[in-house]
Amino acid sequence: MPPSSPASLPSLMPWVLGLVLLVGSLSPTIARADGPLDCKLRFNMQGWSVFYKTAEGEGTVTCSNGERLPVRITSRGGGITFGKSSIDNGRGEFSGIYNIREVLGGYAAAEAHAGAGKSSKAQVVTKGSVSLALTGTGSGWDIGVSIGNFVLSER
């Protein structure tokens, strides 16, 4: 029988199926975790404020899948605020992350603060469905209320 006859189609099915499986196994896969990643931030930053608050620093994001991302941190805002401070060995914990690059970008921040000498700080900042809980201890003095942003960019 010629190969185009209907009777030969069933004998071609295993070959066609094998070819489809081979091509499918060669195609690139999309990397996406089954669930959210456990990602953490370690950072240091320094800043000052006289009505306008500014702080800068650096850190590293590490995730449960082994990925690491060095980041630059900037924080800017305004309000009734005065002071100078630094945070050493700060820590952050992300929620809602499926890919390490989702940590990058601007987060909304609002805070009320007062302290002198050594003090501890805790704050949660958000970016859409992603949240970042920050904690740290540092030194300096500050007092006030400010609203601004907290930005992570790749170093």
Please give the angle made by the CA atoms of 34, 108 and 90, to the nearest 5 degrees.
Answer: 75
pLDDT score, position 131: 94
* Residues of the chain where predicted confidence (pLDDT) is lower than 50: 9, 12-13, 15-31, 33
Which residues make beta-bridge pairs with 121? 136
**What is the C-alpha separation between 86 and 39, in angstroms, rounded?**
23
Taking only the tens place, the pLDDT of each residue in 77-113 is 877 677 888 888 899 999 999 999 999 999 998 776 6
End-to-end CA distance of the chain: 67
Query: Do residues 95 and 85 touch, judged by C-beta distance below 8 A?
Result: no
pLDDT score, position 22: 43
Domains and CATH numbers, the chain: 39-154 (2.40.128)
Token pair in block for residue 90: 């700060």
Query: Do residues 94 and 62 touch, judged by C-beta distance below 8 A?
Result: no
Amino acid at residue number 79: G
pLDDT score, position 138: 78
